[in-house]
Structure 1
Amino acid sequence: MTEFPKILMIIGGTLLLIGFFMQFIGKLPGDLMFKKGNTTVFFPIVTCIVISIVLSIVFSLLGRFK
Protein backbone atom coordinates (compact mmCIF):
# COMPACT_ATOMS: atom_id res chain seq x y z
CA MET A 1 0.00 0.00 0.00
CA THR A 2 3.01 2.33 0.25
CA GLU A 3 3.31 2.54 -3.56
CA PHE A 4 -0.22 3.88 -4.08
CA PRO A 5 0.44 7.47 -2.87
CA LYS A 6 3.59 7.60 -4.97
CA ILE A 7 1.65 6.51 -8.07
CA LEU A 8 -1.03 9.13 -7.37
CA MET A 9 1.62 11.86 -7.08
CA ILE A 10 3.22 10.80 -10.37
CA ILE A 11 -0.16 10.79 -12.13
CA GLY A 12 -1.04 14.20 -10.65
CA GLY A 13 2.30 15.70 -11.66
CA THR A 14 1.95 14.31 -15.17
CA LEU A 15 -1.55 15.76 -15.53
CA LEU A 16 -0.30 19.12 -14.25
CA LEU A 17 2.48 19.21 -16.84
CA ILE A 18 0.15 18.13 -19.64
CA GLY A 19 -2.34 20.85 -18.65
CA PHE A 20 0.41 23.48 -18.60
CA PHE A 21 1.66 22.56 -22.07
CA MET A 22 -1.86 22.30 -23.50
CA GLN A 23 -2.22 26.06 -23.01
CA PHE A 24 0.46 26.65 -25.64
CA ILE A 25 -0.58 24.01 -28.18
CA GLY A 26 -1.54 25.68 -31.43
CA LYS A 27 -0.27 29.09 -30.40
CA LEU A 28 3.41 28.72 -31.21
CA PRO A 29 5.09 30.83 -33.87
CA GLY A 30 5.37 28.73 -37.00
CA ASP A 31 1.96 27.09 -36.70
CA LEU A 32 0.10 27.89 -39.89
CA MET A 33 -3.58 28.81 -40.05
CA PHE A 34 -5.46 29.72 -43.19
CA LYS A 35 -8.96 31.21 -43.06
CA LYS A 36 -11.14 31.75 -46.09
CA GLY A 37 -14.84 32.24 -45.62
CA ASN A 38 -16.27 29.46 -43.49
CA THR A 39 -13.21 27.24 -43.90
CA THR A 40 -10.22 27.18 -41.55
CA VAL A 41 -7.20 24.97 -42.17
CA PHE A 42 -4.64 24.59 -39.38
CA PHE A 43 -1.14 23.07 -39.67
CA PRO A 44 0.54 22.86 -36.22
CA ILE A 45 4.04 22.25 -37.61
CA VAL A 46 6.12 23.74 -34.77
CA THR A 47 3.81 22.28 -32.12
CA CYS A 48 4.33 18.79 -33.56
CA ILE A 49 8.10 19.27 -33.56
CA VAL A 50 8.10 20.44 -29.92
CA ILE A 51 5.89 17.53 -28.80
CA SER A 52 8.15 15.10 -30.66
CA ILE A 53 11.28 16.45 -28.95
CA VAL A 54 9.69 16.38 -25.50
CA LEU A 55 8.40 12.82 -25.93
CA SER A 56 11.78 11.67 -27.25
CA ILE A 57 13.48 13.06 -24.14
CA VAL A 58 10.90 11.53 -21.79
CA PHE A 59 11.08 8.07 -23.38
CA SER A 60 14.87 8.23 -23.48
CA LEU A 61 14.96 8.97 -19.75
CA LEU A 62 12.42 6.24 -18.98
CA GLY A 63 14.46 3.75 -21.03
CA ARG A 64 17.56 4.43 -18.95
CA PHE A 65 15.83 3.56 -15.68
CA LYS A 66 14.67 0.10 -16.78
Structure 2
Amino acid sequence: MEGIGKSLILIGIFIVIVGLLIMFFEKLPFGLGKLPGDIYIKRDNFVFYFPLATSILISIFLSLIFIILSKISR
Protein backbone atom coordinates (compact mmCIF):
# COMPACT_ATOMS: atom_id res chain seq x y z
CA MET A 1 0.00 0.00 0.00
CA GLU A 2 2.95 2.32 0.60
CA GLY A 3 3.90 2.26 -3.10
CA ILE A 4 0.39 3.23 -4.17
CA GLY A 5 0.44 6.16 -1.75
CA LYS A 6 3.75 7.42 -3.15
CA SER A 7 2.46 7.10 -6.70
CA LEU A 8 -0.71 9.04 -5.90
CA ILE A 9 1.30 11.82 -4.25
CA LEU A 10 3.61 12.08 -7.30
CA ILE A 11 0.66 12.10 -9.71
CA GLY A 12 -1.03 14.80 -7.61
CA ILE A 13 2.10 16.97 -7.62
CA PHE A 14 2.38 16.54 -11.40
CA ILE A 15 -1.26 17.57 -11.89
CA VAL A 16 -0.78 20.66 -9.71
CA ILE A 17 2.32 21.69 -11.69
CA VAL A 18 0.52 21.26 -15.03
CA GLY A 19 -2.45 23.23 -13.69
CA LEU A 20 -0.21 26.09 -12.59
CA LEU A 21 1.55 26.16 -15.96
CA ILE A 22 -1.78 26.36 -17.76
CA MET A 23 -2.98 29.14 -15.46
CA PHE A 24 0.13 31.29 -15.89
CA PHE A 25 0.63 30.79 -19.61
CA GLU A 26 -2.28 31.72 -21.86
CA LYS A 27 -1.08 29.43 -24.58
CA LEU A 28 0.76 26.20 -24.00
CA PRO A 29 4.50 26.44 -24.67
CA PHE A 30 6.26 25.33 -27.84
CA GLY A 31 3.17 25.73 -30.03
CA LEU A 32 1.48 22.71 -28.51
CA GLY A 33 -1.86 22.42 -30.28
CA LYS A 34 -0.49 23.88 -33.51
CA LEU A 35 1.91 21.16 -34.58
CA PRO A 36 2.40 20.23 -38.26
CA GLY A 37 0.43 16.97 -37.92
CA ASP A 38 -2.67 18.62 -36.45
CA ILE A 39 -5.66 18.65 -38.77
CA TYR A 40 -7.33 22.05 -39.24
CA ILE A 41 -9.99 22.61 -41.90
CA LYS A 42 -11.76 25.96 -42.20
CA ARG A 43 -14.58 26.53 -44.69
CA ASP A 44 -17.27 29.20 -44.94
CA ASN A 45 -19.52 28.06 -42.07
CA PHE A 46 -17.49 25.12 -40.83
CA VAL A 47 -14.35 24.66 -38.76
CA PHE A 48 -12.86 21.24 -37.98
CA TYR A 49 -9.84 20.84 -35.72
CA PHE A 50 -8.31 17.54 -34.66
CA PRO A 51 -4.99 17.75 -32.78
CA LEU A 52 -3.54 14.45 -34.04
CA ALA A 53 0.18 15.23 -33.57
CA THR A 54 -0.49 16.95 -30.24
CA SER A 55 -2.41 13.90 -29.00
CA ILE A 56 0.42 11.57 -29.99
CA LEU A 57 3.01 13.79 -28.27
CA ILE A 58 0.97 13.98 -25.06
CA SER A 59 0.43 10.20 -25.15
CA ILE A 60 4.18 9.55 -25.42
CA PHE A 61 4.91 12.02 -22.61
CA LEU A 62 2.28 10.49 -20.29
CA SER A 63 3.50 6.96 -21.10
CA LEU A 64 7.02 7.93 -20.05
CA ILE A 65 5.71 9.47 -16.83
CA PHE A 66 3.75 6.32 -15.96
CA ILE A 67 6.73 4.08 -16.76
CA ILE A 68 8.91 6.18 -14.43
CA LEU A 69 6.23 6.11 -11.71
CA SER A 70 5.90 2.34 -11.97
CA LYS A 71 9.65 1.91 -11.54
CA ILE A 72 9.68 4.26 -8.52
CA SER A 73 6.76 2.54 -6.79
CA ARG A 74 8.41 -0.91 -6.85
Higher share in strand: 1
1:43 aligned to which of 38, 50, 53:
50
Q: Work out the number of aligned pairs and report it.
A: 58
| Letter paired with 2:35 | L
Structure 1 residue 39: deviation in Å?
1.1
TM-score (norm 2): 0.60
* Identity over aligned pairs, percent: 39
Unaligned runs of at least 5 residues, structure 2: 1-9
Following TM superposition, the consecutive aligned residue runs of length 4 or more in structure 1 with deviations greater than 3 angstroms are: 16-21
Instruction: Select the structure with the greater relative contact order (CA < 8 A; seq sep ≥ 6).
Output: 2
Q: Do structure 1's residue 15 and structure 2's residue 21 form an aligned pair?
A: no
Alignment deviations for residues 5-52 of structure 1 (CA, whole Å, 9 cap, x no partner): xx8xx46x7237853782323211111100111210011110010000
| CA root-mean-square deviation | 2.9
Unaligned runs of at least 5 residues, structure 1: 1-6
1:55 & 1:46 partners in 2: Cα distance?
A: 14
- CA gap of 1:55–1:26, structure 2 versus 1, over 3 A, is same
- CA gap of 1:33–1:25, structure 2 versus 1, over 3 A, is same
| Letter paired with 2:28 | M
Corresponding residue for 2:41?
Answer: 34
TM-score (norm 1): 0.66
